[in-house]
Structure 1
Amino acid sequence: MVYALLFAFSALFMLNLVSGEGVVRQTTSRSTGDYACSKYMCINATLTGDTVEYVLSSTGSRVPGWMAVGFGTQMSNNPMVIMWSNSDGSITLSQRVARSWVMPELVSNPARVATLLSDFSTTETGNERYAFSITWDNSARTNLIWAFGTQNPGSSAVDAPFQFHVDAGYAHFDLSKPISVISDDESASTASNSAPVPSSSSTSKTATSSTSSTNGLPLNAHQRLALAHAVFCSAGFILILPAGVLVSRWARTFTSKWYTAHWTLQFVFGALSIVIGLAFGVHSVNSGRHVEHLNDRHKQWGVALFALYIFQSAFGAFIHWVKPKNSTGRPLQNYLHAISGLILIGLGFYQVRSGYSTEWPMMVGREELMEGADIVWYAWAVILPLLYFAGLVLLPKQLKQEEAAKSPMKEVSSNEEQSSLLAEPQVEEIGMNKIYRD
């Protein structure tokens, strides 16, 4: 009887194979995991027993120079695995840790050793995929950071230096999610353009996680310094200095106090904001051992812009205190001062935009400094010139006041009442003579 049952089961099994249904979709209760994708790369994680297999794959948007994943919620003091391909077709796996927001250093004896999975890795252009396995930390909820760089280190050495990433972020993985594993035959028929990968890269039955921008993470010390630099310098160059210019353009025909307001904004409040911002910027660079001074256009333009601000302030003081002799009209130096001031503000706008759109992502590994920053920047870049040039409608009035201030005082009548009416305006005009000509 037993032999008959065994024969019957064997016959059914063979019949199943002959009918072409021997290759079935396998499901496993032992393998679980999660995956997530960003613009440039995807991360797949498969938990089997006490081992987690990770696959870092390119989306094809850009050719990866290197790809990395770290364990934690921030770059500093968390272990990470960085991988890149070499010219001979091999793949380098480097385990590192960053002590601050600087280039990660090699860890010779990591607490959890990552092992390259060559069978699941490929350097094929457009389908780059780097895989490794690592001991599970016994936590189903795993916080990951990730980074994608386009510049290959150019060396197979595990301690080779590499360039800043072009994109980075974090993801929250739930390694307890069930995963359906597709058999080799089925995977070959549905994904002809990709090589077999660990089970986590197969379509999951559960909802996937999604990677998030690093903007959701708290700022570290280096980033806080960079942010303070951005706030103070932006306030100085595109808020305070333009305010001083608008005061000069609009208020000079209505009050003799315009010059006091002008130089106070430009020299006192402007200098405080710009110098403090510059100090924060220098300190931010100094806080990173692998960050250099003046190694990119933003830093170089920053120094040039600060020098131009010092020149403009000194030039304004010179114009105020040193008047050309025998001048019958507005001196040329006054026009040069106005033109250089407008150039200073224009360059300030350029510098602020390069700071939040280029320097911030490159230096601190986050997305743009402020969501919607471009909208605010473009709006202010349009509104400010409109306010300034609208003030030119007062130019005829200004020229008449300056001309009146230069004319000799008329003799006043001996009539006491008439004298009292004329004295104040005449004194006011003479008193404003120097101010109008500044």
Structure 2
Amino acid sequence: MCPSRGRPRLFNLERPLLLFILAACSASAAPSNADLIQYLGGKATGQSLKTPAYTLTLLANDEKVLVSYSYDGAMKEVGWMAMGCGTAMTDADIVVCWPNKDGSWTLSHRSAPSTVMPTLIGTANKDTADSSGSLKIVRKLSSSSQTDSPAVVTFERPLKLGSSYKGKGDAYQLQRAINQPLIYAYGAKNPGESAQDADLVQHALDAMGGTYLDLSASFSSSSSTIDPPLTPVRGGSGAGSTTAASSENGPTTEASAATSSATASSAGLTVPASTSGSSAAAGGAAASTTGSSTTSSAAGLMTYSNLIFIHAVCAGTAWVIFAPCGALCARYARGPPGTTVTRFPWHFDV
């Protein structure tokens, strides 16, 4: 017997093991910007927003939109993640996703008449598609192992939902334009079942909020996440307009003066009273107009970090300057010792 015959047999055992390890490593890797863009045919517009709940990415081509939720933790730690098209929870078009123990994801398409638990749109099913048949999970762009971190779920939807869609409100029809109103939320408690109409435990107030998305912004494999704008921003571009130099921190695209004018007059964000404790970061972009075009520039003042800084400055000024001055004024208003001070009533009769 040739002594070298045992070596090929050992190699035959090592090769499948190596392939298994490589496949496992590949499966645990979160989808990149390039993966999302490739799925849409190699070119897309949109943005990636770093919300307090999770990272939300929406990319679009002329026909469909790819939506990706990325939670900074393992798949087994995820409760539920949700996004809604609209300025408030009432009548928003809401998509909730949560992981199951078998490595699958549930896609639950819902709506709510007020700030109550959203209920299912259509009839529940056990497919990767939602109950309306308009949305579906993209498995190859979603996590599938309980240890995958970050935990990512991606689904696709048409840019324009069909006439048979039974959702409420008017914000569910997306456009490749600036200032698409969105809400988002995260619930720490997993429903514990895969049924699309499963009950949801309410999210915390610091894990929800509202924002605006520029679905026309230039997007590439090197684009980074940005702070979610709390109010409508100026600038951006409509689909098909000429694109100027792009920026990783926000849209720097060219739009018509009419689009800019409409954007500047758009209504502000409305958040339900029960969710006013949102800690959503805020961002914006200033715009400069030249001729018939508008180009967005640096981020605006209304960012979460700037608000914290302004609050600290105002609080410090109040305690260091105004509080001592108020005490001194009260002391000297009494006059010298033994002086009688006339005290006036808090109201006057007319």
- TM-score, normalised on structure 2? 0.48
- TM-score, normalised on structure 1? 0.40
Structure number with the higher strand fraction is 2
Structure number with the higher helix fraction is 1
Q: Which has the larger radius of gyration?
A: 1
